[in-house]
């Protein structure tokens, strides 16, 4: 009996030692950079699929003084272009499908973690202007909150996670041994080579709404949502961090997006929403707000879009160049004239003349 008891205790002790050893292995490799920056001896996978697992660690532990952040509309930016044009050391942390709140929460964590942060390029997804301030794209179960908080007790979900151990910790070792290199912040999350662009690709995914008989107007409830969303998730950080320059831009969707607004009767409301949101942001001197919806040739060039919203990386490059040169910058002085020009263009556009079938 004593012999069996000793054997059981020995097996238990050995299992605990093995478990602790595997946990320490994950801590040392740290594939999500929860505890430290990348080890010089290893190459890390940096997968687009793991953005919400690794971005927080990137923001906490990497060296940078400029940041590109946003949804999938920012994934094709090249941090090297941003660094070269603006004379900064930039990284990129996209959150595909993220709401204003989610992105702002991570931006706040970046500001807390990176005292040298000087500039931020942030995409403001145009379709999300009317979101409520606490809107999140996914429910809480989707997020690895154990990586975001300071509670070391729930780190067991990371350290003793079978999937993390096999796919990420051991995966990092295998990735390194096979001669791969850590993607830079030009390649990280860049989907340019994975999709087909052009009118045929756009129309294969576009389901044209039925034509609405009237256009919806911006309501007081809409205005309240916009005000709370912009204040909590955009201007509050700018006000609290006057030394940081925020280069914000409305994501330039294609003409087929505008067709969908016109057909669904929400075009006028969206333009009014933009007008209200812009007037909430323009008073802040460290917010540099850009809109490219008056680049009409670009908006109508389907060779630069993979669907009605997502554009090719050459548009991302053009956005950086326009920002550097101050082109398409919205100001107190020019915004009303800009809005009238854009409003007239999209409310009078002959959408029925757009091709609706692939070539």
Q: Looking at residue 282, what DSSP letter applies?
A: T
Which pLDDT does position 319 carry in this prediction? Answer: 98
From the candidate CATH numbers 3.40.50.2300, 3.40.50.720, 3.30.1540.10, 3.40.50.1110, the one assigned to the domain spanning 65-161+184-353: 3.40.50.1110
Which pLDDT does position 12 carry in this prediction? Answer: 59
Which pLDDT does position 335 carry in this prediction? Answer: 97
Number of Cβ within a 10 Å radius of residue 13: 10
User: What is the Cα–Cα distance from 184 to 332, expressed in whole angstroms?
Assistant: 38
**Residue pair 279/237 in contact by the 8 Å Cβ criterion:** no
Give the CA-trace dihedral at 323, 328, 332, 337, to 10 degrees: 180
Tokens representing 314 are 């050459």
User: What is the Cα–Cα distance from 53 to 50, expressed in whole angstroms?
Assistant: 5
User: What is the Cα–Cα distance from 209 to 184, expressed in whole angstroms?
Assistant: 40
Which pLDDT does position 10 carry in this prediction? Answer: 59
Q: Looking at residue 190, what DSSP letter applies?
A: -
Which pLDDT does position 140 carry in this prediction? Answer: 86
Q: For the packed helices 267-281 and 255-264, what is the interaxial angle rounded to 10 degrees?
A: 120
Question: To 5 degrees, how large is the angle CA 29–CA 32–CA 36?
Answer: 60
Question: To 5 degrees, how large is the angle CA 23–CA 28–CA 32?
Answer: 90
Which pLDDT does position 165 carry in this prediction? Answer: 94
Which pLDDT does position 148 carry in this prediction? Answer: 92
pLDDT in tens, the chain (359 residues): 576 666 565 555 655 666 567 789 999 999 999 999 999 999 999 999 999 999 999 999 999 999 999 999 999 999 999 999 999 999 999 999 999 999 999 999 999 999 999 999 999 999 999 999 999 999 888 999 999 988 888 999 999 999 999 999 999 999 999 999 999 999 999 999 999 999 999 999 999 999 999 999 999 999 999 999 999 999 999 999 999 999 999 999 999 999 999 999 999 999 999 999 999 999 999 999 999 999 999 999 999 999 999 999 999 999 999 999 999 999 999 999 999 999 999 999 999 999 998 76
> With helix as H, strand as E and coil as C, how does 97-108 read?
CCCHHHHHHHHH
Which pLDDT does position 152 carry in this prediction? Answer: 87
Domain spans, the chain:
65-161+184-353
Checking DSSP bridges between strand 287-290 and strand 245-250, what pairing results, if any? parallel
């Amino acid at each position: 009996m004593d012999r069996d008891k000793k054997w059981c205790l020995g097996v238990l002790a050995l299992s605990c030692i093995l478990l602790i050893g595997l946990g320490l292995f994950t801590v040392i490799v740290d594939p999500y950079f929860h505890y430290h920056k990348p080890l010089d001896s290893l190459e890390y996978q940096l997968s687009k699929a793991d953005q919400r697992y690794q971005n927080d660690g990137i923001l906490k532990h990497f060296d940078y003084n400029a940041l590109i952040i946003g949804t999938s509309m920012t994934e094709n930016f090249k941090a090297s272009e941003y660094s070269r044009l603006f004379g900064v050391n930039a990284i990129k942390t996209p959150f595909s499908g993220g709401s204003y709140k989610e992105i702002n929460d991570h931006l706040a964590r970046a500001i807390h973690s990176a005292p040298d942060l000087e500039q931020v390029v942030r995409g403001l997804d145009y379709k999300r202007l009317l979101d409520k301030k606490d809107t999140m794209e996914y429910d809480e179960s989707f997020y690895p909150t154990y990586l975001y908080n300071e509670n070391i007790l729930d780190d067991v979900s990371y350290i003793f996670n079978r999937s993390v151990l096999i796919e990420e910790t051991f995966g990092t070792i295998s990735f390194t041994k096979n001669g791969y290199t850590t993607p830079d912040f030009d390649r990280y999350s860049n989907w340019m080579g994975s999709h087909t662009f052009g009118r045929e690709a756009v129309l294969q995914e576009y389901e044209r709404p039925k034509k609405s008989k009237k256009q919806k107007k911006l309501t007081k409830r809409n205005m309240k949502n916009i005000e709370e969303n912009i204040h909590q998730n955009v201007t509050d950080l700018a006000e609290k961090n006057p030394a940081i320059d925020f280069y914000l831009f409305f994501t330039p969707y294609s003409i087929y997006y505008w067709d969908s607004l016109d057909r669904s009767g929400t075009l006028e409301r969206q333009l009014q929403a933009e007008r209200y949101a812009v007037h909430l942001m323009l008073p802040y001197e460290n917010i540099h707000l850009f809109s490219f919806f008056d680049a009409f040739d670009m908006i109508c060039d389907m060779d630069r879009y993979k669907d009605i919203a997502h554009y090719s990386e050459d548009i991302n490059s053009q956005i950086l160049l326009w920002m550097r040169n101050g082109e398409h910058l919205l100001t107190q002085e020019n915004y009303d004239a800009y809005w009238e020009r854009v409003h007239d263009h999209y409310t009078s556009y002959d959408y029925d003349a757009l091709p609706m079938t692939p070539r």
